[in-house]
Amino acid sequence: MFARLARIFRLGIKELYSLRADPVLAGLILYTFTVAIYTVASGAKFEVENAAVAVVDEDQTALSKRLRDALLKPFFKEPVLIGADEVDAAMDSGRFVFVVSFPPKFEHDVIAGRQPTIQLDIDATAMSQAGNGASYIQNILIQEVLAAVPGAATTQPVNVVIHAMFNPNLNSAWFTSVMQLINNVTMLAVILAGAALIREREHGTIEHLLVMPVTPTEIMLAKIWANGLVIVVAATLSLLVVVERLLGVPVQGSVPLFVASMVVYQFSVTALGILVATVSTSMAQFGLIVMPALIVMNLLSGATTPMESMPVWLQNVMQLSPSTHFVALSQAVLYRGAGLSVIWPKLLALLGIGAAFFLLAGLRFRKALQAAQ
């Protein structure tokens, strides 16, 4: 048993040497955990921020100006004044997501209590911003009118107070940064382990190992621990430095618990990478299988859009993906401060899926070696 562990350890050290010898891979890993996370979290926001708004002001009064000025940064970019005839072209080109149109005699009608209508054109193909942005704009305009027109404010019989738990300002960078981290972990783990195995197969080094007192299980475990170590360390550093420091996201939950879970996740995705390598006969096939698998795992895991929004059959299919469980687990640990008592079923699922991948890969290991020859 000890000898077995020693062999797994030695083979893993070899993996680390190999990684060190390839500056391109090292550079890409660095990029993935720094620049890629930072730009995605800070630049591509799901909340309504920097939304491009145009205003058609056919009223040109104090009130319409006041309403216009109420569409403030950081939610909206400085509104651009356009003519009524430009609305279609401006929206067609995708320059604006929202166009607010004040009708003529708007102020006059408000004061006269005639309830004029403001038209709000929304580019409904910008799914992530259209709905929320529209309700923002409606709220802002109404609040502003109520404040501007004396006596218009009526007292509400009930005061509905909405609290956003775990992320009071609903800052999307909190979410995107960690989800991007997870996506990148998935991507690196699958490709790194799988492609390395195919390379060893093409260079004949795997065959060489198999005539020595080394089993396929040991080879796979060595790949898993070595690649896993690199990625978990890089991801943890990224969480502490890029996410917490640079992006200023307060990580509320237990970082050790998250990292420990990441180790389990790492096992399952690396095993998946090895499995894909054993079912593909060449690097070209590997690439064509891995690419779709990765985007499905990233986009449909609940890290991008809500899991509940997917059709039930697809939700069920996605239970087979380790990323689905890890995303749910991470959200629970990092945002809601959940402990082991809450997340253990997810951990168990990760272990189970990982073990299944691992076993299948082990069964295919020698066959794949012969098929590829």
Where helices occur in 238-339 by DSSP H, the ranges are 255-279, 283-299, 312-318, 322-330
Among 34, 65, 70, 210, binds another protein (CB under 8 A): 210
Site for another protein in 269-298 (CB under 8 A): 281-292, 294-296, 298
**What's the CA gap between 329 and 253, in Å, rounded?**
11
Q: Is residue 5 close enough to count as binding another protein by CB under 8 A?
A: no
Binding to another protein (CB under 8 A) within 175-204 occurs at 175, 180, 187-188, 191-192, 195-196, 198-199, 203-204
Out of 34, 42, 61, 254, the only residue in the binding site for another protein (CB under 8 A) is: 42
What is residue 158's three-state secondary structure?
A: coil
Closest CB 258 distance from another protein, rounded Å:
14
Binding-site string for another protein from residue 218 to residue 257, where x marks contact by CB under 8 A and - marks none: ----------------------------------------
Tell me the C-alpha distance between 322 and 210, whole Å: 30
Site for another protein in 140-169 (CB under 8 A): 141-142, 145-146, 149, 152, 154-168
- Report if residue 125 touches another protein, rule: CB under 8 A: yes
Does position 316 interact with another protein (CB under 8 A)? The reply is: no
* Cβ-contact 4, 205 below 8 angstroms: no
Minimum distance between the CB of residue 357 and another protein, rounded to whole angstroms?
Answer: 19
Beta strands in 15-109, from DSSP E residues, in sequence order: 53-57, 80-81, 98-102
Beginning with the edge strand found earlier in the chain, give each strand of the sheet holding 53-57 in spatial order: 80-81, 53-57, 98-102
Question: Do residues 355 and 330 make contact, with C-beta atoms less than 8 angstroms apart?
Answer: no
Q: How far is the CB of 20 from another protein (least distance, A)?
A: 8
Contact between residue 231 and residue 17 where contact means Cβ atoms under 8 Å apart: no
Instruction: Choose, by CB under 8 A, the member of 274, 275, 328, 349 that binds another protein.
Output: 328
For the segment 334-353, give every residue that binds another protein (CB under 8 A): 335-338, 342
- Residue 304's Cβ-side half-sphere holds a number of Cα atoms within 13 Å equal to 14
d(CA 294, CA 189): 10
Residue count, binding to another protein (CB under 8 A) = 150
